Amino acid sequence: MRGIVALLLLALLGGGARADEVTRGRYLATVGDCIACHTAPGGAPFAGGRPIATPFGTLRSANITPDRASGIGGWSDAAFDRALRAGIAPGGKYLYPACPFPYFTRARGEDIAAIHAYLRSLAPVGNPVQTDALPFPFDIRALMRGWDAAFFRPGVWHDDPAQDAAWNRGGYLVEGLGHCGACHTAKNAFGADETRRALQGGLLQGWWAPGLTPAPRTGLAGWSIDGLVAYLRTGSGGGQLASGPMAEVVERSTSHLSDTDLRAMAVYLLARPARTEVAVRPAPTPLAGEAIYLDRCAACHGRAGEGTAGLFPALRGSAVVQAPRPQTLIRVVLEGGRAAATDAAPTGAAMPGFASLLDNDEIAAVLAYIRNSWGNASAPPRPAQVERMRGSPG
């Protein structure tokens, strides 16, 4: 439907871009999930203004509709390409890496051009956004020049001739426009990827994004290609359900991608070297935790943490449950969460928040239990960690 509108607009405007390039650009913009950050809650798509919390302050995303005054209507193809792949906008303005140009740099020039063609085909929306909203000294964008020098490695993706087409396509998407590592790779003190720990899991905005290497406890070791494809296409696969920020990624981006591309991403991720996990012995499970689990959790998640496909995530063997840091778990217990809803898997089941139903000791105890039962092993959370998460996620 949106495609049809875009095509009509294109015809009306008499733009120079070819229709198929716009269609391709729209797909690639979906891979990049541009709409997620560049749309304010309740706002016009791509018109920017969504607040994005970073460790350095809250940014607001730019208006990327072709409005000349407040959007990017005045940008040339070259300027657009430079912004996305070099992180430098017209006027020499350095972008913050909240816009994942360190990933987009790996995209091919014709793909970036197609995205630009698609964005130009949209209706311009006048929506001035103050994008420089970080507190001093991070408001000095020139500081980004040093950041770039230290952390930014520009350069397009190169296929590995030793690997097959699927692996290479998957790598191109995962490491490039898909920017999976933006969440799933740990960040250093400057907010840059710790490249040695690429895709081994990261903490962002109070959510732990689990590892995407085939590691047994904290990664994808138990996953099949089919399971991963189902997860990305529907939000439900491998006994898990996308929720939190990943629900949005599935709903807006991966559920709209082709099977071939999803399969390629799965092939690539499962073929990467597994994170070397420190051997963790299960901690003793508190009796209180077992009692609470039995009384409050088992009716949905199952006596053995097995869950129900498409409805309740399995806790047994879950990388989220065994995350090195328990923030996401604590947060979900406190606030609840809703699974992704897609056309293929519309259920979108939810868990209630337990903030007023369980106290800090009880939450710590039940999480210690689920993190160390049924073969799971990870450090028990402390009640003080739960207290810190109350009212101040992140």
Partner 1 sequence: MRPEALRRRDLLASSAMALVLAACAGPASLPPPAAEAAPFFTAEEAATIAAAVDRLIPPDAATPGGREAGCADFIDRQLAGPYGRSADLYMRPPFAEGIPQQGPQSPLTPARRYRQALAALATYCRNAYAGQEFAQLPPAEQDRILRGLEAGSLHLPGANGHAFFELLLANTMEGFFADPIYGGNRDMAGWRMVGFPGTRYDYRDYVALHNQPYPLPPVGLAGRPAWHQPA
Partner 2 sequence: MTRRLAPTDAVIIGFGWTGMIMAEALTAAGLRVVAIERGPMRDTAQSFPPATAPDELRYAIRGDMLLPTAEETITFRNHLDQHALPVRKWGSFLPGSGVGGSGVHWNGHTWRLRPEDFALRSATIARYGRHFIPPDMTIQDWPVSYAELEPFYDGFEYLCGTSGQAGNLRGAIQPGGNPFEGPRARGYPTPPLTMPYGPTLFAEAAAGMGYHPFPLPTGNLSQPYTNPHGVVLGQCSYCGFCERFGCGNYAKASPQTTLLPVLTRRPALSLRTGCEVLRIVTDSTGKRATGVVYVDDKGEEWEQPAELVLLCAFMLDNVRLLLLSGIGAPYEPRAGTGVVGRNYAYQTVSAVQLFFEDKIFNPFIGAGGLGMVVDDFNGDSFDHGPAGFIGGAWLTQLASNGRPILARPTPPGTPRWGAAWKAATAHYYNRSLGLVASGSSSSHRGAFLDLDPGYTDRHGRPLMRMTFDFHPNDLRMSEYVTDRLAGIGRAMGPSRMAVFKRHAPYDIRPYQTTHVVGGAAMGAHPETSVVNRYLQSWDVSNLFVLGGSAFPQNSSYNPTGTIGALALWAASAITGHYLRAPGPLA
Question: Which residues of this chain interact with partner 2, rule CB under 8 A?
Answer: 296, 299-300, 308-312, 336, 338, 341, 343-352, 354, 357
The set of residues, in sequence order, having a beta carbon less than 8 Å from that of 299 and lying 6+ positions away, is none
What does 57 bind: partner 2, partner 1, none (CB cut-off 5 to 8 Å by kind)?
A: none
What does 335 bind: partner 1, partner 2, none (CB cut-off 5 to 8 Å by kind)?
A: partner 1
Among 189, 356, 391, 392, binds partner 1 (CB under 8 A): 356
Q: Mask 275-294, x = binds partner 1 (CB under 8 A)? A: ---------xxxxxx-xx-x
Q: Does 384 bind partner 1 (CB under 8 A)?
A: no
For residue 280, the minimal CB distance to partner 1 (Å) is 18
For residue 304, the minimal CB distance to partner 1 (Å) is 11
What does 308 bind: partner 1, partner 2, none (CB cut-off 5 to 8 Å by kind)?
A: partner 2
What does 312 bind: partner 1, partner 2, none (CB cut-off 5 to 8 Å by kind)?
A: partner 2
What does 68 bind: partner 1, partner 2, none (CB cut-off 5 to 8 Å by kind)?
A: none
Q: At 276, which amino acid appears?
A: T
How many other CB atoms sit within 10 Å of the CB of residue 140?
12
Q: Does 351 bind partner 1 (CB under 8 A)?
A: yes
b/e sequence 63-79, b meaning 16+ C-beta within 10 Å: bbbbbeebbbeebeeeb
303, 250 contact by CB (below 8 A): no
Residue nearer to partner 2 on the CB measure, 198 or 333: 333
Q: Mask 238-267, x = binds partner 1 (CB under 8 A)? A: ---------xx-------------------
Residue nearer to partner 1 on the CB measure, 108 or 382: 382
Question: In angstroms, rounded to a whole number, what is the distance separating the alpha carbons of residues 6 and 19?
Answer: 9
For residue 360, the minimal CB distance to partner 2 (Å) is 17
- The CB-side HSE value for 53 (13 A sphere, CA atoms) comes to 9
129, 40 contact by CB (below 8 A): no
For residue 329, the minimal CB distance to partner 1 (Å) is 15
Among 348, 382, 387, 388, binds partner 1 (CB under 8 A): 348
Choose the binding region for partner 1 from 86-94, 105-113, 169-177, 334-342 (rule: CB under 8 A): 334-342
Q: Does 338 bind partner 1 (CB under 8 A)?
A: yes
For residue 299, the minimal CB distance to partner 2 (Å) is 5
117: nearest Cα among 87, 174, 82, 75? 75
What does 344 bind: partner 2, partner 1, none (CB cut-off 5 to 8 Å by kind)?
A: partner 2
DSSP annotation of 216: T
Q: Could you write out the DSSP letters of every residue in 79-113?
A: HHHHHHHHSEETTTEEPPTTS-HHHHTTS-HHHHH
Question: In angstroms, rounded to a whole number, what is the distance separating the alpha carbons of residues 349 and 241?
Answer: 9
Question: In angstroms, rounded to a whole number, what is the distance separating the alpha carbons of residues 236 and 230?
Answer: 6
Task: Give the SS3 label for residue 201.
Answer: strand
34: nearest Cα among 109, 89, 112, 88? 112
Number of residues counted as binding partner 1 (CB under 8 A): 32
Copy the structure tokens of residue 257. Answer: 């991608």
Binding site for partner 1 (CB under 8 A): 247-248, 284-289, 291-292, 294-295, 298-299, 303, 335-338, 348, 350-357, 361-362, 365, 368
